[in-house]
Chain A
């Protein structure tokens, strides 16, 4: 292969995913922003004025910030002992507990909403708490979701902190609490902030949970966007809110980014401490107890209750809910068929996202000489992570108003749903693959070159094998998140051919014990599939990919 052909190949590799994101993310998002400022072809900010003069909007913004803030705080408070117990100690069953704690993150938001709804209802196990339809339920569900983000992100760093740092504090007379507060916590601060930023991001764009648990009484910015679009047909107002959400997310990310940069010190990280430190009751019991309590009560109870109730109808233990999944119809759609649609779209989304993600990872992992090129690559990497920060509702909504003219009038096409899901899954795929490529010591590539390997051969024989180690995780991740994707899909799904999460929400909203039972059974199936896909993916997780 000539040098020119090699260069051309790299350009193509960079352009293909860029074109995909430009057409299916940047363009709809930009169009959305523009729509917020236009009124019958005239540029005006009156859309913003109209939306922000409504008290309802301010309540929604306030509730979004408050619930995301509360969730972030709780996740950090609960996640720190979890990180200690699961990443710095070794005890039998630790790996299983670690995996179990991560399961909630990949469950579809709808499934989580239904599970908590079932738990906190009047006739639920925790119904006596009277929390059904309160903000507490919503926050609890969001903590359920995001707990593992803190545990993973902080734990991965904590496991590699040199334990002698804390020991030095002890030899200077500081008790364990003082060492933790003055030495350990400040050193962990960058990881904690990074996790907190992610949790804030995920919980401020948590659409499915609020839809299911809010009972129409609580509104976040995302549900308001949905409301304005589908109920009031106020596209301008919805666009204005989408822009607002973008701004909130961007500000939060920027603020934590600045704080993180200021706190990151030169740390010499050690190999994993958690692999060698045996459990010591005096030191580790409080953290382990807190983690077990969280795992059992917050994480295990809703899931157990969900499965238990799905096996009941009219007070009797029965499999009727499951057997009727194949026969029942909801507005002309059967759960069985919806499952088929979900699986097909998830597979298609994975087939789109993973190859594109591979290309992005390959391009972003290059190590150019010139600082300007390195900065450009860093910007590229950040750009591909943007879909994580933009809500799926915005994406779905953006498609509706953008892809409505030939040759890209795809609104009624089935391909749009996998595309939307692929856009949402792409950042996760990239984050699963990039660390494996980055972990390759550049001197290995140089050694290969001195042994006579041309560049494309070095790529194929040295780098690609590392990449394939991350593929299992990337595929599983993409599949599981596409399966459970609800935000964008709810806008794009056709009424007669919904995906399973959309159908579940419909069933959940219908009165009657039968519909409720069906919703529970469908949720268990959905959650089970997503969880199984992710469990398989986790087994393929390479050790360089520690957090997302």
Chain B
């Protein structure tokens, strides 16, 4: 039985500034945890640390009981959805979604891409270019892309902040549904408490580290 994501006393520093100071939390498999906090509290930094994009000064991050200190980002199996999507501009939507699927045979890749685009409500958009998508569509494609390789866990860094309020509400509901349907373990960073309630099973508040 997989024991999920665990953080113990995680500390991250940038030069003299402490971005995260001794943060501990646990996410059970299949659980969606929202990370709420004011700006500067280090929410994004925490997410990036889990993904392996920030080095830890102290503390450990464990997945299923195993310490991830020596594991580089591309081997951790944590998907990430960025605030502005970060779709690869030189590839079509289909190639974007299929980017993490190179270990599958071609036919299986295509099938998975189709399935995921349907899941996020954008069937048939395989051949569009990222520049031709609206903001909401781009975020859906970003979600599909990160879910395609069936990651251990999904990290979402304020994925809806760049969208207008009406779209945000609709997409938040869709996101909550998709995460539940796929039983994805997820950490969802947001500054909107209402959105956090919509999407997550549990809301955790991060307070900024003490100054100095």
User: A168 an interface residue at 8 Å Cβ cutoff?
Assistant: yes
A175 nearest CB across to chain B (Å): 5
Whether the pair A170, B86 counts as a contact (CB closer than 8 A) is no
B132 nearest CB across to chain A (Å): 10
User: A328 an interface residue at 8 Å Cβ cutoff?
Assistant: no
* Docked complex Cα distance between A175 and B80 (Å): 15
Whether the pair B99, A171 counts as a contact (CB closer than 8 A) is no
Max chain B Cβ within 10 angstroms of own Cβ: one of A172, A176, A183, A267: A172
**Docked complex: A134-183 residues within 8 A CB-CB of B:** 162, 164-165, 167-176, 179, 182-183
What A residues does B72 contact at CB under 8 A? 170, 175
Whether the pair A168, B74 counts as a contact (CB closer than 8 A) is no
**Docked complex: A243-268 residues within 8 A CB-CB of B:** 263, 265-268
- Do A172 and B146 contact each other (CB < 8 Å), given the known contacts A167-B73, A265-B131, A266-B131? yes
User: A186 an interface residue at 8 Å Cβ cutoff?
Assistant: yes
User: A203 an interface residue at 8 Å Cβ cutoff?
Assistant: no
* Docked complex Cα distance between A187 and B86 (Å): 12
**Docked complex: A429-482 residues within 8 A CB-CB of B:** none
Select B146's contact among A165, A171, A175, A179, beta carbons within 8 Å. Answer: A171
* Docked complex Cα distance between A296 and B91 (Å): 39
Chain A: interface residue total (CB-CB under 8 A): 24
B51 nearest CB across to chain A (Å): 6
- Do A174 and B88 contact each other (CB < 8 Å), given the known contacts A168-B80, A169-B99? no
What B residues does A267 contact at CB under 8 A? 89
User: B90 an interface residue at 8 Å Cβ cutoff?
Assistant: yes
What A residues does B140 contact at CB under 8 A? none
**Docked complex: B135-180 residues within 8 A CB-CB of A:** 145-146, 149, 151, 155
**How big is chain B's contact interface, by range?**
20 to 34
What B residues does A174 contact at CB under 8 A? 74, 99-100
- Do A187 and B90 contact each other (CB < 8 Å), given the known contacts A171-B146, A172-B100, A174-B100? yes
Whether the pair B53, A173 counts as a contact (CB closer than 8 A) is no
- Do A167 and B53 contact each other (CB < 8 Å), given the known contacts A172-B99, A266-B131? yes
User: B63 an interface residue at 8 Å Cβ cutoff?
Assistant: no
* Docked complex Cα distance between A173 and B86 (Å): 15
* Docked complex Cα distance between A263 and B91 (Å): 11
User: B188 an interface residue at 8 Å Cβ cutoff?
Assistant: no
Select B90's contact among A164, A170, A176, A265, beta carbons within 8 Å. Answer: A265
B184 nearest CB across to chain A (Å): 14
What B residues does A186 contact at CB under 8 A? 88, 90-91
What A residues does B86 contact at CB under 8 A? 162, 164-165, 167-168
What B residues does A173 contact at CB under 8 A? 74-75, 77, 100, 102-103, 149
Query: 1/0 per residue A495-537: CB within 8 Å of B?
Result: 0000000000000000000000000000000000000000000
- Do A167 and B89 contact each other (CB < 8 Å), given the known contacts A172-B145, A172-B149, A174-B99? no
- Do A170 and B74 contact each other (CB < 8 Å), given the known contacts A164-B82, A265-B131, A268-B84? yes
What A residues does B146 contact at CB under 8 A? 171-172
What A residues does B80 contact at CB under 8 A? 167-168, 171
What A residues does B149 contact at CB under 8 A? 172-173
* Docked complex Cα distance between A235 and B84 (Å): 62
What A residues does B78 contact at CB under 8 A? 171
Whether the pair A175, B90 counts as a contact (CB closer than 8 A) is no
Select B88's contact among A165, A170, A176, A263, beta carbons within 8 Å. Answer: A165
What B residues does A171 contact at CB under 8 A? 51, 73-74, 78-80, 146, 151, 155
B23 nearest CB across to chain A (Å): 20
For residue B155, which residue of chain A has the nearest CB? A171
For residue B52, which residue of chain A has the nearest CB? A170
What B residues does A189 contact at CB under 8 A? 90
Whether the pair B88, A183 counts as a contact (CB closer than 8 A) is yes
B76 nearest CB across to chain A (Å): 8
* Docked complex Cα distance between A268 and B91 (Å): 16
B88 nearest CB across to chain A (Å): 6
**Docked complex: A220-252 residues within 8 A CB-CB of B:** none
Beyond known contacts A165-B86, A171-B155: 4 more, CB 8 A cutoff: A165-B88, A172-B79, A182-B99, A265-B131
- In the A-B complex, the 9 residue pairs with the smallest Cβ-Cβ separation, listed nearest first, are A172-B100, A265-B89, A186-B90, A170-B73, A171-B80, A168-B86, A170-B74, A173-B100, A266-B131
B interface, CB within 8 angstroms of A: 51-53, 72-75, 77-80, 82, 84, 86, 88-91, 99-100, 102-103, 131, 145-146, 149, 151, 155
Listed by A's residue number, 10 A-B pairs whose Cβ atoms lie within 8 Å are A164-B82, A165-B88, A167-B51, A167-B53, A171-B146, A172-B100, A172-B145, A173-B102, A263-B90, A265-B131
